Each structure stands twice: as structure tokens, then as C-alpha cells.
A and B are shown apart, each in its own frame.
Chain A
């Protein structure tokens, strides 16, 4: 990468750490450190909520998915606006007025200590592991592209984040999130403009070619439980997932608990209701335009440079043969795409068919190359996460490439910072202060929270380093997390039903997880989005039935 780009990346990391540390003023008390004294304006909290959800996986994985699979991933977010409105009138006022530090603290007031502790424990378990994978995903890509060791990549992402989060607390995290979101959105808009300028065809023709390749297909109304991205799984399963994520996950709850008032907390969530889908469309559009760009500029056969090198060394003859076929196909596809772009309306159907044939042939050679890479390296060869970073480094102008790499780092740091503060908060408030030492000066709890945050940071870095070597661990952890989400949401829904009691909630929580496990192992093809519905509904039914019986016998 050009030195100017490095200067931008290093400069941005330095700025973020200094800015975060400066924001540490006024964080001498626990409430200031964990909730910014409940003083933040809605727009800062709203941007922080969006930043927390936008991780490096969004910047490299979702854009890559846009390039290979098109826009249909956006259906995943169709339930989000409705979930935000529901939360605005249900959980947000409950939690904000309860003056709690964590969502789980409220469960003890409503039910009992065991329900609170089990829910908080499940949060720590799933989020603790996922925090490592949030660092691992971009670290693996940076290692392959820049040739860094995994430890170096993890340290570059993890260390600055731990520093500003540990010193500044939620105040620092929120204000850094605001700046990072500006950088991320600015970088995404800039890359779209540059792509449109660099394409040899007009924007409308570029979209026509992308549409012919199926990249602009958004809606899938198939009533299938197996397919993750359908309109129905997005609207129904997605609503439950978003209710659970934004309503019961401490990494999100902590954001809006720091708002000045209930109204400002609601407004901060509504920002996501209005802007999340358009933002996600922008992210996917970047991928679609990168796909279109590579129709007219030869892309590499393998986007992962480490795999490219290894396959060249270990299977030179087979790889050379594939490359020669690939280049011939690319030339033919380029011509077909240009023909389609220039075709008058009456000749379009024929031009579309010719282009689609060429696109299918090119894709099949890529699939062969990925299989060859898998056998030569012994590692999974799916290279969707490498498409955008390779494009950025190979084709973006000097300066903009640095800004985009800084934006990927920013996205990683935002998500990790929120996770670390929430993990430390739940550890101290729901376990240490609840079970070990109930009373003490704020300085003591502040010190314990900072130590806890550093320990979680180290844990996440260690998990990240090993997650990369274990390959499919990331997927396992994500699937593991989906076991809990729906069930935890079920407990909070139960809290709003007056007749529900503690034991009903506790047993319901266990029954919810058992039901999700049964669906997962009994019908593994059912998409994980539906697990959230199964978990939440089971908890509510079991909880109400058990509470009802108990109330009756009493």
C-alpha cells in the first residue's frame, strides 16, 4: 500500500485514541463511566447504535456478498423498523425509567436473582466468544493482504480499542462512534462515486448489466424455512432477532440507557428504523458496482492473495491452465457486457442471454479455482471477504484507499468497543456487585470495571488469534449465539406479562433454549432466523403456563 494510505490509516487510529481519551473527562463515577451520566443527545446515541451494529464484517463481508450474490441480503433487515417502534413503546421506557445499568438487572426486580444471573451468564457466554470472532474476521483478511502475522493483525485492531474504551468508558465509545460513522458513510459514498466515474459505461447501463446478472434481485417471496434470505424470514424472523438484539443485548441496551431521557432513547432507536435499510442498501450497492467494475477490468482468479501464492507454488500446471481459460472467458464476458450495455431495446433479450451464458462460464471456472485452492491449501477457500479489500488496494486512487482501510478498521473498533464495555458492565454489575461485593465506593467498582474490560479485551484477542486457525469456529460461534437470542427475548416479553413469575421465567428460558436446540439438530436446514421465533414463543408459553399454575395453587 502507498505510504500516503498508511499515513491516513495510522493518523486515523491515533486520532481515535486521542479523541476517546480526551472524552474521558467527567468519568470519575461509575454512572459516568458506564452510562455517561445518562446525558447524551439522541443523535449521538443513534449513530452509536448504528455503529455498534456495523462491524468490519459489514464493510468487507456484506459488500463482498453484494458482489457475488447481489442485493437480496437486505431482506435480513426488513423486520428492523417495526422492531424499533415496538421497543420504543415497550422495553425502552421500562429499562430507562428503572435506572438500571444492565438489562439483566431489571430482570431481578421483576422476577428473581436466578433468572437475572442465568440471562446475564448467557449474554457473557455468547458475546464473549463472538467478540473474538468480530476481531478475527477482519484480522484474517488483513493478514492475507498485508502479509502480517495473525497476532499483529489482532493487536492492530484490538489494542487501540481497548485503550480508549478502558480509559474513556461509554462517553468515549459513543463520541468515537459518531466520528467513525461519519468516516464510514463518507468512505462508502466516495467509493460509489469513484466506481461510477471509473466504469466505461453509463450508470444506467451498469445497473442494466448488473440486473442481467441477477445482482439487483431484492425480493424472494418463496415460503421456505430453509432459505435464510426471504421476505418472510426477514419480516417475521428478522423482527424477533432485532427485538432481541436491540432490546435485550447489553451492547445495544447500554447505548440508549446513556440517553438524556426516555424520548431521546426512543429517538436514537428510530434513527436506525429510518436509516438502517438505506445504509445497508448503500453497502450492498458498493458490492454490486464492484462486480460491474470487474466485468470491464480483469479480476484476479483468486481474491485471497495468500491462497493465490500457495496454489501457484503447489499446483502450478493446473492453476496456469485455469488462468488461461479464465482470461479467455473474461474477454468474451467483457464483450458480451459491452454489447448488452449498448444494445437497443429490441435486441436486449438476446444480448442478455449471451451475457448470462458468459457470466455462468466465468463463474464455473472460479468455482473450479476455489476447489483447487481448497485441495492445495487444506483451508476453506471461500474468498468473498477479499473482493472489496483487493479492489480497494488495486484500483482506488491514493488517499481514498487509505480512507477505506481506515473505515474498515473503524467499523471493527466500534463493534468491539461496544462489546467490551457491555461485557465489563455485565460482569461487574450482574456478578461482582451482585454476588461478591455489594457495597463500596465508586472508585473501587470503576477500577474493577476497567480491569474486567482489559481482561475481556485480552480474552477476545486470544479467541481471535485461535478462531482464525480453527477456520469454521466463526460459524459455530454465530450459530451458538442464535441459540440464546430468541429465548432471552422471551424472558423480557414475559416480564411485561403481569401474571408471569420468576420460576416460570427461569424454566421457560431453559425450555426455550432446549426447543431451539431441538430444531437446530432435528431440522438443521431451518434457517437460524426462525430460531429466534421458536425460542421467544416457547419461553412465553412455558413461562405463562408455569406461572399460571403456581398462582392458582398458591
Chain B
């Protein structure tokens, strides 16, 4: 049970990190498009 709980917590933490990185990348690309595309 402990292992499963640990795995679930680990997964949630990883998911948050990956999503944060993904959102940061998309925001950067969006900013690039918004600033330079007329």
C-alpha cells in the first residue's frame, strides 16, 4: 500500500513538473509569435 501511495504521489509531482515545463514552453512560443508576428 505504501509503495502504491508513494508511486501515486511521485506521479502527481512528475505530472505537475512536466505540465509546468510544457506550459512555460508554450507561453514562450506564444510570446514569440505575439511579439514578432504582425
Contacts and interface: CB of A to CB of B under 8 A. Distances in A.
B30 A219 contact: yes
Interface residues of B, number: 18
Interface size bracket, A side: 20 to 34
B5 interface: no
A208 B32 CA distance: 10
A89 B22 contact: no
Given A74-B29, A211-B36, A89 B7 contact: yes
Interface of B: 7, 11, 14-15, 18-19, 21-22, 25-26, 29-30, 32-33, 35-38
A270 B33 contact: no
A207 B33 CA distance: 10
Given A81-B21, A81-B22, A85-B11, A217 B37 contact: yes
Contact of A216 (B7, B21, B37): B37
Interface string A520-539: 00000000000000000000
28 contacts: A74-B29, A78-B26, A81-B18, A81-B22, A82-B18, A82-B19, A84-B18, A88-B14, A210-B36, A211-B33, A211-B36, A211-B37, A211-B38, A212-B37, A216-B36, A216-B37, A217-B37, A218-B29, A218-B30, A218-B32, A218-B33, A219-B33, A266-B14, A273-B21, A277-B22, A277-B25, A281-B25, A348-B38
Contacts of A277: 22, 25
A71 B29 contact: yes
By secondary structure, the A interface counts as helix
Q: Which of A71, A81, A281 counts the most B-chain CB atoms under 10 A from its CB?
A: A81
Given A218-B30, A281-B29, A208 B18 contact: no
A207 B31 CA distance: 12
Contacts of A211: 33, 35-38
Contacts of A281: 25, 29
A278 interface: yes
Contacts of A348: 38
